[in-house]
Structure 1
Amino acid sequence: MVSALPIAGLLVAAVAAQTPDASLAPPTSCAPGVQIFAARGTTEAPGVGKIQTVAGNVTAAIPGSAVTAVDYPATFDDYAQSVATGSSDLGQLVKDYVKMCPDSKVALLGYSQGAQAVADLICGASSELMPVKTADLDSIYDKNIIAMILFGDPTRAANQSFNLGTVTDRDGLFPRLKNDACEPYSPRLRSWCDVADRYCDPSAPGGIDTTVHGTYFNKYTQAAKDFIVEQWQLSQKSLPPRSSIGSAQPTGTANGTHPAHPTGAPVPTSTTPVAAGASRTGAAAFGAILMAGVAAFLA
């Protein structure tokens, strides 16, 4: 029997390959579909990077959509400043675009360091070893931003309502300490992380697996695309409102659009798991090693 997974991966790659190259220049016109802003991972060449698979599938599904890459350093050296620049540049792209196109619809995509840049933009930065800042976008952009997709976010915090993938109850490398600003976006935010990812699940009980961080594109591109398309369709009627804190819990399976806690994965029984303190301590220590330049490059 031929496995469906390789075939699905080939289809995803084919769609991405057919997508016009994303622009590094700010948009100069209003996209009738979705305007996608994408932030690549560390050390990826300038452009959208690997998350182009998601962008390509969205532009194929929603005619008139456009893709703009965040033109930021995405470097390992001076990582904190690189992230801050990416988040700031992304915020300016969104603000300028919405000013030009006030009725437009926008989706934000980020992988690895790019995911942190997106998350810092909408949630503010509150991770250890990182400069603290407030969220750059306020409620006036609610009607424009329809979806945010994060793959392998190093600032992932345990047990957030928008956490998806095969692990939802452990912290990332630089866990966000203040998540209240994220929660209002939860109906439109999806953050995937799988067990043993060295950046979003560095405290996995069985240790890290260096290959996991690059596997999201074959596994979750379809779910991410479906979520953005669904949000686009909803936006043509009315935008999902900001949720109250603690609402909008994802439901479904780990491979679906709104997975919650997959079979075999631990299901948290409280907002803060018993092991959360140890997890955060371990993540912070590992983060210190990374920032000292001993750990491998973020990819």
Structure 2
Amino acid sequence: MRFSPLFALPPAMALTCSPGLYVLVARGTFELPGAGIFGLIPKTLAERTSANITTAPIDYPASLSKPGYTESVKAGGQAVHDAIDEYASACPDGKMAVGAQISMDAICGGAGDGFPPRDALPSEKLDNVVAIALFGDPTHVANTTYDRGTSIKNGIFTRDAKSLAVCNKYSSRIVSYCDTGDVYCDTGDIRPVHANYLNRYTDETVSFILDRFQAASNSSSSAPPTSASSSASVTSATPSSSSLSLSSSAASATLSSGPAPSRSDVPVVSLACANRAAVLYLGSVAAIVAAVLSRC
């Protein structure tokens, strides 16, 4: 397998069209900048296809304080919105996959329930988003056509009807995994469930993304993607001009404890269990909820 990282580039050069699949991923809260734990998805994609896989980490605060939860989510949603918009404009024949809970507000519009309002991206900007993968989404809605996993309950936050209707338009491109007992997507009480999605569903998710990618490639005017060699190519790109580390290790940090989170900023109280809490989730803004509620 060949890895070709691209580090910080001047703004005019920062975006390069991928000849294969451009995968936007968002790290978990308190993980170091880069792809985070969710980087396993593009890595596995590259192992199973000869197409070029470009990993584009979303640059957002991923923080609980300075800025707080609400501002971090707002910034993350805007970053996903801008990354999709910019890539679709610069690479109209390009294909994208998105893996991040914060992506849903960009794709479907703001969820409501106290989060800042946000308009969904125009449909023409989403034409080449071939797949969207979610794990343990706290705005999970049970019994949708894109619902996966064992849960039959909704998440701790509510996605309003207007936003849900937009999500349903793109249901064939979405998989949202939620298992019974997950504290955040299932309002359950079994904390380890939230940390186990990649162990259980990586292969299934990668198969879904590859199927969607191949179908989209076959239906486009260009030929299906091929590689000049038999080895997969993985490129790491930054969608903005800021320098991002490609480390997947969780950041050492002091997290906070307190009551069950709302979508308002959470006051910070020192808690000496950062490393365990920080890895509780998988490239998801929901990690901050895990950090707040973790009893270590």
Normalising by structure 1, what TM-score?
A: 0.69
Q: Distance in 2 between matches of 1:99 and 1:290?
A: 34
Q: Distance in 1 between matches of 2:192 and 2:263?
A: 20
Give aligned-pair identity as a percent. Answer: 32
Query: By how many angstroms is 1:130 displaced?
Result: 1.6
C-alpha contact 1:22 1:48 (8 A) present in aligned 2: no
CA deviation digits over 1:147-180, x for unaligned, max 9? 000111111122221110111x311121212210
Q: Distance in 2 between matches of 1:225 and 1:52?
A: 12
1:141 maps to 125
Structure 1 counterpart of 2:57, one-letter code:
A
Structure 2 counterpart of 1:134, one-letter code:
D
Kindly report which structure 2 residues correspond to 1:149-188, keeping only aligned pairs within 5 A, or say none: 149-167=133-151, 169-178=152-161, 179-188=164-173
1:275 maps to none
Match of 2:106 among 121, 132, 142: 121
Q: Distance in 1 between matches of 2:29 and 2:70?
A: 12
Kindly report which structure 2 residues correspond to 1:227-242, keeping only aligned pairs within 5 A, or say none: 227-238=208-219
Does residue 76 (structure 1) correspond to residue 60 (structure 2)? The answer is no
Secondary structure, aligned partner of 1:146:
strand
Query: By how many angstroms is 1:101 displaced?
Result: 0.9
1:297 maps to 291
Kindly report which structure 2 residues correspond to 1:1-299, keeping only aligned pairs within 5 A, or say none: 27-62=14-49, 63-77=51-65, 78-110=68-100, 115=101, 117-135=102-120, 137-167=121-151, 169-178=152-161, 179-202=164-187, 204=188, 208-238=189-219, 286-288=260-262, 292-293=266-267, 297=291
Secondary structure, aligned partner of 2:191:
coil
CA deviation digits over 1:104-145, x for unaligned, max 9? 0000011xxxx1x1111111112313222221x111124311
C-alpha contact 1:152 1:199 (8 A) present in aligned 2: yes
Q: Distance in 1 between matches of 2:263 and 2:169?
A: 33
Query: By how many angstroms is 1:41 displaced?
Result: 1.7
Size of the aligned set, in residue pairs, is 227
Which segments of 5 or more consecutive residues in structure 1 lack a partner in the other structure? 1-14, 240-284
Q: Distance in 1 between matches of 2:262 and 2:86?
A: 36
Which segments of 5 or more consecutive residues in structure 2 lack a partner in the other structure? 221-258, 270-288
Secondary structure, aligned partner of 2:89:
helix
Q: Distance in 1 between matches of 2:6 and 2:191?
A: 28
Q: Distance in 1 between matches of 2:55 and 2:110?
A: 25
Q: Distance in 2 between matches of 1:109 and 1:165?
A: 17
Q: Distance in 2 between matches of 1:180 and 1:58?
A: 30
Higher RCO (C-alpha under 8 Å, 6+ residues apart): 2
Query: By how many angstroms is 1:184 displaced?
Result: 0.6
Structure 2 counterpart of 1:297, one-letter code:
A
